[in-house]
């Protein structure tokens, strides 16, 4: 994985500290061209991996990069699925089975069974999961996706249920069908990593909040620092600025001191901020 990854929260109105800022960003990036301009700037500054959700608006972005492969020969996408709001909205409108059916291909055996009203609990869960992953990945066809992440809303829900086998289903599907590495986003990496290891998923790629003030780090900073020191997973640090609570140098000095943190993902809306963050990470990584 690259040392520096670019995230997409700012494009879709996600800001964990300021609703006002989130609304302003959402308005600014209503037009896909505005998103593409920022991604162009990031690429020019040497940030060539885009860690993004499977938001429906990503289809336009993927189309752009497919059409401009010569301009971005080494560009990489890290899809993060599922995009929870998409499924929640569909469930509210169509019901649970209707929502699942709406995201499946038109012709498939499980889709036919669901149309027949058979209980979801009796279905081939692994087969259904593979179909949903295929549906989420369709927009990335023809693009380089060497790592595919399970979003924290799914990871932590399954973790809470104790349905650990679902993690293996996801990992196996990602490896077999997409020749990619599975990644897991979580709000509780110290709990997740041992569960993955028990499934035979060794040295997993795990993305989690890691920052100096413990913002959204469960159960504690100490637990994370112990996990980092053990080197049992390939860590991607997110929310390193604690959603704006920390100054960039202060925040990145903390994260970059840990050699076992492999990558850092951040979001920004201007070329200046992208350049400053990238240069600061490079500087602190070398020191």
Q: What share of the chain is helix, strand, coil (3-state, %, to 5)?
A: 55, 15, 30
Across the range 94-116, mean pLDDT stands at: 52
Across the range 218-232, mean pLDDT stands at: 97
Q: What is the number of other CB atoms lying within 10 angstroms of the CB of residue 225?
A: 14
Burial 164-192 (b: 16+ CB within 10 A, else e): eebbbbbbebbeeebebbbbbbbbbbbbb
Chain-centre distance of CA 284, in angstroms?
24
CATH superfamily entry for domain 4-82+127-286:
NADP-dependent oxidoreductase domain (3.20.20.100)
Element (H, E) at 121: none
Q: Which of 49-63, 128-142, 214-228 has the lowest mean pLDDT?
A: 128-142
For residue 219, the 8-state DSSP code is S
pLDDT tens per residue across span 147-204:
999 999 999 999 999 999 999 999 999 999 999 999 999 999 999 999 999 999 999 9
pLDDT in the model for residue 121: 45
pLDDT in the model for residue 15: 56
pLDDT in the model for residue 117: 46
177 touches 143 (CB < 8 A): no
pLDDT band at 112 (very low <50, low <70, confident <90, very high): very low
pLDDT in the model for residue 91: 52
pLDDT in the model for residue 77: 98
pLDDT in the model for residue 265: 98
pLDDT tens per residue across span 1-10:
999 999 998 9
User: Residue 13 pLDDT more than 80?
Assistant: no
Q: What is the mean pLDDT of the chain?
A: 87
pLDDT in the model for residue 114: 47
Residue 53 β-bridge partners: 80
Residue 184 β-bridge partners: 150, 206
pLDDT band at 216 (very low <50, low <70, confident <90, very high): very high
pLDDT tens per residue across span 47-60:
999 999 998 889 99
pLDDT in the model for residue 30: 84
């Amino acid at each position: 994985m690259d040392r520096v990854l670019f995230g997409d929260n700012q494009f879709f109105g996600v800001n964990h500290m300021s609703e006002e800022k989130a609304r302003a960003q959402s308005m600014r990036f209503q037009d896909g061209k505005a998103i593409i301009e920022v991604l162009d700037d990031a690429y020019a500054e040497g940030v060539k991996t885009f860690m993004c959700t499977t938001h429906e608006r990503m289809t336009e972005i993927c189309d752009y990069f497919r059409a401009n492969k010569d301009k971005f020969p080494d560009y990489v996408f890290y899809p993060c699925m599922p995009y929870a709001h998409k499924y929640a909205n569909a469930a509210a409108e169509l019901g649970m089975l209707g929502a699942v059916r709406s995201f499946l291909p038109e012709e498939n055996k499980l889709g036919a069974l669901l149309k027949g009203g058979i209980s979801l609990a009796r279905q081939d869960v692994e087969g259904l999961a593979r179909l949903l992953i295929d549906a989420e990945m369709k927009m990335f066809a023809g693009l380089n996706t060497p790592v595919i992440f399970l979003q924290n809303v799914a990871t932590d829900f399954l973790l809470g249920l104790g349905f650990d086998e679902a993690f293996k289903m996801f990992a196996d599907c990602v490896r077999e069908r997409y020749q990619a590495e599975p990644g897991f986003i979580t709000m509780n990496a110290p709990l997740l990593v041992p569960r993955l290891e028990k499934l035979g998923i060794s040295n997993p790629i795990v993305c989690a909040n890691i920052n100096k003030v413990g913002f959204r780090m469960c159960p504690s900073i100490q637990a994370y620092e112990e996990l980092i020191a053990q080197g049992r997973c390939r860590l991607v640090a997110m929310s390193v600025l604690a959603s704006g609570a920390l100054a960039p140098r202060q925040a990145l000095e903390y994260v970059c001191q840990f050699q076992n943190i492999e990558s850092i993902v951040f979001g920004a809306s201007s070329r200046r901020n992208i350049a400053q963050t990238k240069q600061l990470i490079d500087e602190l990584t070398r020191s």
